[in-house]
Amino acid sequence: MTRLGAVSYLNVRPLVYGLERRSDLFSLRYDVPSVCAELLHARQIDVGMIPSVEALRGRYSFVPDLGIISDGPVASVAVFSRVPIDRVQRLGLDASSRTSAGLAMVLCHERWGIEPEFVSVQPDAAARLEGCDAALLIGDPALFLDHEAAGFQKTDLGAEWTSLTGLPFVWAAWTGRPGKVGTAEIAALQHARDEGVAHTDEIADAYCGPERAATGRRYLRENIKYRFGAREAEGLQRYYDLAAKHGLVQDTGTVPFFPQ
């Protein structure tokens, strides 16, 4: 049995659709992205839906054609600020994030032309911009925050990345050590994705409840993509290269895919 570690956000639910019925192949647990990555590094799970930057930290492979991807606005990863983005001086980074935090730092240099002080904050404090004039939020807290009611400006990191590079952004992917999944597991994970994408409205309704269902439906239909192909790999490599340029990672080697 393959031990899967998934992220506990709405955007992952289509990728795990029906997997609870595949106890012959998988056990499944949910955590925030940073914890999911640490469990994989500690060998407490075999395959994790980990932040894409974390795949550089081990001898890992990606499961083919599966990821959490945006090509333009992502809606659920954003910097919320009290001032225009080019005037931010102190930026709080959501402690549950790693890839998104790195992207925010890259965009500060490459897109916004700022060098703010970076501080790590918990998601609840980030949502209130405690001690900062801007904060990065990811996942459900970012998706459902009513920034206009709070008086904040929202800068969507997916939109900013695609405007900068013309490429998609790979936020996370099923990642594990070589030999931990075979053709049966890969086929089951890809089938779960296909079934989940076909049932996104049902997934959003069950996850979000009646007050948030419309937002969840729109998000899964319009913002999140789940196919990890050549163009997505190019976008990921561009991110690795820019992260290395700014000293955020050491190794920019290509992460391979498990053979099918």
Sheet holding 117-121, edge to edge: 117-121, 90-94, 134-138, 77-81, 153-156
User: What is the DSSP code (8-state) at residue 110?
Assistant: I
- Predicted confidence (pLDDT) per residue in 35-61, tens digit: 898 999 999 999 999 999 999 988 899
Entry pTM: 0.94
Q: What is the pLDDT of residues 214-237, one digit of tens each?
A: 999 999 999 999 999 999 999 999
Q: Are residues 192 and 65 in the same domain?
A: yes
**Of 130, 147, 165, which residue constitutes the final position of a domain?**
165
Nearest to 43 by CA among 98, 7, 3, 12: 3
The verdict on residue 127 lying in a domain is: yes
Residue 3 above 90 pLDDT? yes
Buried b (16+ CB within 10 A) or exposed e, 96-133: bbbbbbbbbbbbbeebbeeebeebebebebbbebeebe
What is the pLDDT confidence band of residue 4, given thresholds at 50, 70 and 90?
very high
Domain boundary among 165, 182, 210: 165
Q: How many independent structural domains does the chain possess?
A: 2
We report the CATH number of the domain holding residue 158 as 3.40.190.10
- Read off the tokens for 177: 């050590």
User: Residue 241 sits in which domain range?
Assistant: 2-69+169-245
Specify the residue for token string 């890969």. Answer: 186
Q: For 83-137, how does the pLDDT look when each residue is reduced to its tens digit (9 = 90+)?
A: 999 999 999 998 777 899 999 999 999 999 999 999 988 877 777 888 899 999 9
Cα(216)–Cα(220) distance, rounded to whole angstroms?
6
